[in-house]
Amino acid sequence: MRQLLAVAAGLVVLAASACSAPTPPRSAAPSATPTGPVTLPAPTGAHPVGTTTLYLKDASRPDPWNLDVDVRELKVTLWYPTRQRDGQRAPYMTPEESQLAMRRYGIAGVPDDLLSKTRTNAVKDAEPTGRKLPLVVLSPGFTNPMNTLTSLAEDLASRGYVVAGIDHTYESYATTFPGGRVAECLACDSDTDPGFGTGVVAGRAADVSFVLDQLPSKWHGSDLIDSSEIAMVGQSIGGASALAAMVKDSRVRAGIDMDGTTYARIPKNGFSRPFMLLGSPSHVPGGRDNSWERDWKLLTGWKRWIVLTGAEHQSFTDGPLLAGALGIKPAYGILPAARAAELTRTYVAAFLDQHLKAMRRPVLDKPSARHPEVKICPEACDQS
Strand partners, 5: none
Degrees, nearest 5: CA angle 337-47-253: 75
**Averaged pLDDT, 145-173:** 97
pTM of the model: 0.92
Sign of the CA dihedral running 310, 312, 317, 322: negative
Mean pLDDT of the chain: 89
Angle, helices 150-158/337-356, rounded to nearest 10 degrees? 50
Q: How far apart are CA 121 and CA 9, in angstroms?
A: 18
- Residue 253 burial (C-beta neighbours within 10 Å; 0-12, 13-18, 19+): middle
Q: How far apart are CA 107 and CA 122, in angstroms?
A: 27
Domains of the chain: 49-377 (3.40.50.1820)
For 335-355, the pLDDT digits (tens) are 999 999 999 999 999 999 999
pLDDT exceeds 50 at position 147: yes
Least confident of 102-106, 117-121, 200-204, 375-379: 102-106
Q: Are the C-beta atoms of residues 263 and 292 closer than 8 Å to each other?
A: no
Which of 319, 310, 316 lies closest to 115, judged by CA?
319
More confident residue, 27 or 130: 130
* Residue 30 pLDDT class (50, 70, 90 cuts): low
Q: Are the C-beta atoms of residues 384 and 286 closer than 8 Å to each other?
A: no
**Averaged pLDDT, 224-249:** 97
Which residues are CB-contacts of 98 (< 8 A; sequence separation ≥ 6)? 112, 113, 114, 115, 116
DSSP 331: P
pLDDT exceeds 50 at position 210: yes
HSE of 1 in the Cβ direction (CA atoms, 13 Å)? 22
Residue 31 has what pLDDT? 62
Least confident of 2-16, 140-154, 232-246, 359-373: 2-16
HEC string of 217-271 equals HHCCCHHHEEEEEEEEEEECHHHHHHHHHHHHCCCCCEEEEECCCCCCCCCCCCE
* Residue 194 pLDDT class (50, 70, 90 cuts): confident
Q: Are the C-beta atoms of residues 116 and 176 closer than 8 Å to each other?
A: no
Q: How many CB atoms lie within 10 A of CB 95?
A: 15
Strand partners, 139: 234
For 246-302, the pLDDT digits (tens) are 999 999 999 999 999 999 999 999 999 999 999 999 998 888 889 999 999 999 999
For 61-72, the pLDDT digits (tens) are 999 999 999 999
For 3-14, the pLDDT digits (tens) are 333 443 333 332
Q: How far apart are CA 148 and CA 9, in angstroms?
A: 8
Q: How far apart are CA 195 and CA 192, in angstroms?
A: 9
pLDDT exceeds 50 at position 20: no
Degrees, nearest 5: CA angle 24-26-29: 100
**Averaged pLDDT, 83-101:** 95
pLDDT exceeds 90 at position 328: no
